[in-house]
Amino acid sequence: MDYIRDATTKPEYLSEEEYKHWKVVWDRPTFKKKQEINSKNRRSIAGPSCHTGGSISNVEHGKKLESKLGRKATPHELFLHTHTKKHDGETFVDLKSKTINDKMLTLKQHAISIESASTNSGPTPVDELALYIEAVGGEKKRRVYGLGSQASSYYGCSNSNVNNSTATSTMQNNEDLQNELASVRNQLQIQEERHQQERQETQQELQQTRQEVAEMRRMLQLLISQNQAPSQINQSGHDEDVDPTPPT
């Protein structure tokens, strides 16, 4: 998303109307302040690592999965095993784990569609390790989130060769795939920011409506009180004009 804001030309996947709309949004002081807060939150997302692996190393968990599956487990399968309650693959231990899983599924789906389109054939195997590293945000201190320091010994990859800024060095031979993945991520963020703006505008409209209703009630009460006052005055004057002396 940042590179779209800094770009001098409009991305192809955005219409001219959408691009102009977001340029206006990005220039607002409230948006810039919000971006600053989001940047701080993203920098602190690492946090503690929560998992259900216990004292058993990821290597041992991987071997158990290999025995169960009859093949070596993928990084994502190992992640699901060690980051869901009772290893059910569905009940994640925290929000971060669920977010990583959702991102992994999105990246994998688009990678498969691109590979299939380029080969004009059925489903094509994708680089599970590269996609997983991309989903978790790359290597940090020679470790890959969810795989630990045992990643190189179990998956035969060298953590020192994983680039932390892109985490996709193994996919450098497929520039079209990288661009498509970046496009998907940017579209998702654009949609999220658009939904947030729509929610804010809806809340503002609701607040304005409530104020207008309150004002209408106040004016109605005022009109009622004004109509009641002359009626009471007329009734009082009529009573004074009546002669209480009976006719003779």
Question: Under 8 Å CB-to-CB from 189, ≥6 apart: which residues?
Answer: 1
Q: Could you give the residue ranges of the DSSP H alpha helices within the chain? A: 2-6, 16-26, 29-43, 58-69, 75-82, 95-119, 128-136, 151-155, 175-240
Q: Provide the pLDDT for residue 238.
A: 54
pLDDT of the residue at 218: 86
Question: Residue 66 carries which side chain, given as an amino acid letter?
Answer: E
How do the domains of the chain map onto residue ranges? 55-173, 175-219
Determine which helix (DSSP H) or strand (DSSP E) holds 72, and give its type and residue range.
none
Task: Indicate left, alpha or beta for 12 from its phi (over 0: left) and psi (-120 to 50: alpha).
Answer: alpha
39-68 residue pLDDT tens? 665 544 444 455 555 557 777 888 888 889
Q: Residue 90 pLDDT > 80, yes or no?
A: yes
Check pLDDT > 60 for residue 216.
Answer: yes
Tokens encoding 4: 């779209």
> In this predicted model, what pLDDT tens digit does every residue of 5-45 receive, in sequence order?
655 666 666 677 777 777 777 778 887 777 777 666 554 44
pTM of the model: 0.43
Going by pLDDT thresholds of 50, 70 and 90, the confidence category of residue 165 is very low
Q: How confident is the model at residue 146 (pLDDT cuts 50, 70, 90)?
A: confident
**Could you write out the DSSP letters of every residue in 122-172?**
S-----HHHHHHHHHTSEETTEETTTBTTHHHHH---GGGS-TTTS-GGGT
Give the separation between CA 169 and CA 147, rounded to whole angstroms. Answer: 18
Cα distance between residue 203 and residue 27, in whole Å? 21
Residue of 126 and 235 predicted with greater confidence: 126
**Three-class SS of residue 180?**
helix
Model confidence at 241: pLDDT above 50: yes
The separation between CA 98 and the C-alpha centre of its own chain, rounded to angstroms, equals 12
By mean pLDDT, which of 7-21, 104-118, 189-203, 234-248 is the weakest?
234-248
> Whats the size of the chain, residue-wise?
248
In this prediction, residue 174 carries a pLDDT of 56
pLDDT score of 240: 53
- Evaluate whether 135 touches 100 at the Cβ level (below 8 Å): yes
Please compute Rg for the chain using Cα positions. Answer: 32
